[in-house]
């Protein structure tokens, strides 16, 4: 017997989306910080940390017992991917927050470049671990769709796409230019995410019954979300990208940024809601 999972709902999807977008935006902002643009990229990093915090707050509402997170910290199960994820999130917030806070308030260490670079490097390292762990967490479950090696890769790719989107929105809001190579990079991640997502459908016939059932869900009950992902999440960003190359405008960049964030949301929604488990009875 095969049954669709009901333990993870839209709050998990939002946590994964905001969290992945936030840590990816932080990493991107820090890399550009190292290239010399200090003030703006500290603010972009701050937006990333705020996004990560929003995701974690949404996750706490799903837990029902917020003290469970504290218990995980005090009595960690080091064999649990989720326990490691709690530490990665906390350390990303601590080091990333310390790096980004000077974008909001004046702090004494903000003028010390060595301290800022160290905080940014540590924040980026733990941010990458947060970005990688979410897909790994799903891959460790008994749900066949999630256990696919495609899932961790897909989650990293859409996190990077949405991270570019968040950085672009911050740039437009602060009337800064969005680096051309960053926009180009988002098209690479979008194309790779398209290929990775399509692999689910390509290998369905040679996969387990539970995996095929999940793919069937994407093409039946979740067909609207699947169509939206391919049209708005994959095709539309390329259309806006090429149109913006002919007629550059901030409006085009905002639309592109929103589509990149939507790509991440829809991809995670589909994978989470199509997850089906094969029961032993």
Give per-residue pLDDT as tens, 31-41.
999 998 888 99
Residue 56, classified by CB atoms within 10 Å of its CB into exposed (0-12), middle (13-18) or buried (19+), is: buried
| CATH code of the domain covering residue 8 | 1.20.1630.10
Instruction: Give yes or no for residue 69 having a pLDDT over 60.
Output: no
Of the listed ranges 8-12, 123-127, 185-189, the one predicted with least confidence = 8-12
Q: In this predicted model, what pLDDT tens digit does every residue of 107-146 receive, in sequence order?
A: 889 889 999 999 999 999 999 999 988 877 777 777 888 8
The secondary structure element, H or E, covering residue 137 is helix 113-139
Is the entire prediction scored with pTM above 0.85?
A: yes
Name the band, by pLDDT with cuts 50, 70 and 90, for residue 191. very high
pLDDT score of 77: 56
User: How many domains is the chain partitioned into structurally?
Assistant: 1
Q: What is the 3-state secondary structure (H, E, C) of 151-167?
A: HHHHHHHHHHHHHHHHH
Mean pLDDT confidence for 222-250: 96
Q: Which position has the higher pLDDT, 156 or 140?
A: 156
Across the range 217-231, mean pLDDT stands at: 96
Mean residue pLDDT across the chain? 89
Domain around 240 = 2-278
- CA angle, 105 then 160 then 260, to 5°: 95
Q: What is the largest CA-CA distance in the chain?
A: 63
């Amino acid at each position: 017997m095969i049954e669709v999972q009901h333990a993870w709902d839209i709050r998990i999807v939002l946590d994964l989306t905001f969290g992945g977008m936030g840590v990816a935006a932080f990493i991107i902002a820090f890399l550009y910080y190292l290239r010399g643009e200090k003030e703006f990229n500290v603010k972009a990093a701050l937006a990333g940390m705020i996004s990560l915090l929003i995701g974690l707050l949404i996750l706490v509402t799903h837990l029902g017992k917020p003290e469970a997170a504290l218990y995980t910290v005090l009595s960690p199960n080091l064999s649990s991917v989720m326990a490691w994820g709690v530490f990665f999130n906390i350390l990303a917030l601590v080091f990333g927050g310390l790096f980004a806070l000077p974008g909001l308030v004046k702090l004494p260490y903000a003028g010390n470049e060595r301290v800022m670079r160290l905080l940014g490097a540590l924040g980026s390292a733990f941010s990458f671990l947060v970005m990688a762990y979410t897909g790994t967490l799903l891959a460790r479950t008994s749900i066949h769709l999630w256990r696919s090696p495609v899932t961790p890769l897909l989650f990293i790719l859409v996190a990077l796409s949405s991270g570019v989107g968040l950085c672009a929105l911050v740039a437009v809001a602060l009337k800064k230019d969005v680096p051309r190579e960053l926009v180009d990079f988002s098209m690479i991640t979008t194309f790779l995410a398209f290929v990775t997502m399509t692999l689910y459908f390509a290998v369905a016939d040679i996969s387990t019954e539970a995996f095929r059932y999940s793919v069937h869900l994407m093409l039946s009950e979740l067909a609207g979300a699947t169509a939206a992902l391919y049209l708005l999440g994959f095709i539309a960003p390329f259309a806006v990208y090429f149109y913006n190359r002919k007629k550059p405008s901030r409006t085009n960049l905002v639309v592109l940024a929103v589509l990149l964030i939507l790509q991440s949301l829809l991809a995670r929604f589909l994978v989470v809601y199509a997850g089906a488990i094969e029961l032993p009875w």
